[in-house]
Amino acid sequence: MDLDARQAAAVEIAEEAGALAHDYFGRRGELKVEQKGLQDLVSQADREVEALIRRRLTERFPEDAVLGEEAGGARDDRALWIIDPIDGTTNFLRGLPHWSVVLGFMAAGKAELCVMKAPVLAELYVARHGHGAFCNSARISVSQVAKLEEAVVAFGSNKKTPHGPYLKALESLLDRGAEYRRLASASMSLAAVASGKLEGYHEAKLAPWDAVAGMLLVREAGGRTNDYFANDGLKKGNTVMVANQALYETLAAAFECA
Ligand code: LIP
């Protein structure tokens, strides 16, 4: 398994796919938008960027499997690319900057690579298992903040999970002095925790293309994550809970996923 070659290819492909997505972003008013579900949109940009990534991966690594948000694919984790052409589609379609092109790679059941390109912010995040986490080639790390009164935490919610537990956790954390943000892009929330801009992030249920790559980025930046692959997470989706070391237990308890 040549991870050097896969990392180099993923960076090149993320740059090319990011440029295509950014071009669509500049003329997003012309895009045909379809509704996949309640508050769940897809456009020609998502489909064409995914098709480009799939083409490039298949040209270089025909033996690898590919799982993507828009076109699906096998969830065979022996050598699997997990891709989201535009994570944060609603932000993208509304002209907000937090969205990214995500490529993750798993081998023998383990997350090995994360490459995420956020074109509007001009940020390229890269992590490899055991090699650290980087943004635009500079090493990144999670924050050292240890008190809730100094913490800013990202929340995510979607229409597939109940809002009750989310509101309860939000109220409890706000009561105890924490602040919160909703970036509306899982990958960008994970990148914000990995770079120490936010202390933690929780979303009750996320698909693997939203979760797997960015969770590796957080671990490689020194943060702590739950076991996304537990209970058949790769196939069924799972909770995402990540934080810096100091606040993980406190935040996980507030979200009742300790
Ligand atoms: C979205 C996430 C967002 C989450 C939504 C959705 P998409 O991904 O990144 O944070 O709340 O459920 O999955 O659909 O924009 O790629």
**Under a CB-based contact definition with an 8 Å cutoff, are residues 199 and 251 in contact?**
yes
pLDDT for the residue numbered 2: 96
157-181 pLDDT per residue, tens? 888 888 888 889 999 999 999 999 9
Q: What is the mean pLDDT of residues 20-36?
A: 93
pTM of the model: 0.96
Measured CA to CA, the distance from residue 188 to residue 197 in angstroms comes to: 11
Q: How far apart are the first and last CA of the chain?
A: 34
Q: How far is CA 7 from CA 2, 19, 51, 60, 196, in A?
A: 9, 18, 19, 12, 24
Q: How far is the CA of 2 from the centre of ligand 1 (A)?
A: 31
Q: Confirm or reject: Cβ of 250 under 6 Å from ligand 1.
A: no
Q: How far is the CA of 186 from the centre of ligand 1 (A)?
A: 6
177-228 pLDDT per residue, tens? 999 999 999 999 999 999 999 999 999 999 999 999 999 999 999 999 999 9
Q: How far is CA 40 from CA 34, 108, 147, 240, in A?
A: 9, 32, 35, 19
Nearest by Cα to 200 from 257, 127, 131, 132: 257
Q: Confirm or reject: Cβ of 50 under 6 Å from ligand 1.
A: no
The yes-or-no verdict on residue 113 having pLDDT over 70 is: yes
Q: Confirm or reject: Cβ of 186 under 6 Å from ligand 1.
A: yes
For the record, the structure tokens of 118 come out as 């956020």
| Averaged pLDDT score across all residues of the chain | 95
Of 64 and 34, which is predicted with more confidence?
64
15-25 pLDDT per residue, tens? 999 999 999 99
Q: How far is the CA of 99 from the centre of ligand 1 (A)?
A: 9
Q: Confirm or reject: Cβ of 195 under 6 Å from ligand 1.
A: no
Q: Confirm or reject: Cβ of 87 under 6 Å from ligand 1.
A: yes
Q: What is the mean pLDDT of residues 65-74?
A: 87
102-112 pLDDT per residue, tens? 999 999 999 99
Looking at ligand 1, which residue's alpha carbon is closest to its atom 15?
A: 88
Pocket test for ligand 1, best of 38, 116, 158 (most atoms within 8 A of CB): 158
Q: Confirm or reject: Cβ of 69 under 6 Å from ligand 1.
A: yes
Nearest by Cα to 5 from 76, 64, 82: 64
Q: How far is the CA of 149 from the centre of ligand 1 (A)?
A: 28
123-138 pLDDT per residue, tens? 999 999 999 999 999 9
Percent of the chain with pLDDT over 70: 100
**Under a CB-based contact definition with an 8 Å cutoff, are residues 160 and 208 in contact?**
no
The yes-or-no verdict on residue 258 having pLDDT over 70 is: no
Nearest by Cα to 116 from 32, 216, 27: 216
Phi-psi region of 122 (alpha: psi -120 to 50; beta: other; left: phi over 0): left
Pocket test for ligand 1, best of 53, 82, 206 (most atoms within 8 A of CB): 206
